[in-house]
Amino acid sequence: MNNSQEDYENKIKEKRTLEANKKGLVGKNGKIGVVLRNLGNKIISQNEGGVYRNVNYLYENENEDGNENKIPILDIENVDRPQSSEWSQSEEPSISASIDTIGLHFDGLSRGMHLEIKYEDAKSELKVSYKGYCVFNETKGELVAYSPGEWEDFIEKLYKVSKEKQRKNNETNFQKSLLENEKQKNIWWEKLMSKWNISIK
């Protein structure tokens, strides 16, 4: 690419960046980011047993002893063990696992929109695809691609829905914090009364 082609592309990039900023699409708190945080789902990474462990769940129905194999249960904190017959019921967990969130994903097909939004933590990349084509890409805070079009109407609709959901979540969290504060206050009073053997009349 010669200098004139590079200059031409830089001018387009600058113009598109200004346009995306004006429409409020860019950044973590931009419309796309708000939609993804409020309507998207976490992308989960599951790690088992360390880097040198080879994991394969494609077991045969029966093992060498002729006994039916069972699906192993991962040892993950705060997860209830399944009780149905196809799961291994050994009390000792055979696999140590950890779960990490590595990004966010929104799929609009369930809402009748051929729109996908994805954020990957490792790359710091926010990407929007419409009908299978990349129409917006922001990587490490820099706009890499932006193709204005009808997909932006969907973003506007989703943004309104996500702002309302965010408002309700904020109200719920506020009520929870009030209840937690009241609970902590009661615990403090109980400790105080127990410690000093006093009663409040």
Residues in the chain: 201
* Total domains, the chain: 1
For the question of whether the overall pTM of this predicted structure is more than 0.85, the answer is no
Give pLDDT tens digits along the chain (201 positions). 578 888 999 999 999 999 999 999 999 899 999 999 999 999 988 766 655 555 544 444 455 555 556 655 555 555 566 666 666 555 555 556 677 889 999 999 989 999 999 999 999 999 999 999 999 999 999 999 999 999 999 999 999 999 999 999 999 999 999 999 999 999 998 888 888 888 765
Domain assignment of residue 184, given as a range: 3-196
| CA gap 45, 108 in Å, rounded | 22
For residue 43, being part of any structural domain is answered with: yes
Mention every residue, 6+ apart, whose C-beta is less than 8 A from residue 124: 139, 140, 141
Tokens of 183: 């609970």
For residue 201, being part of any structural domain is answered with: no
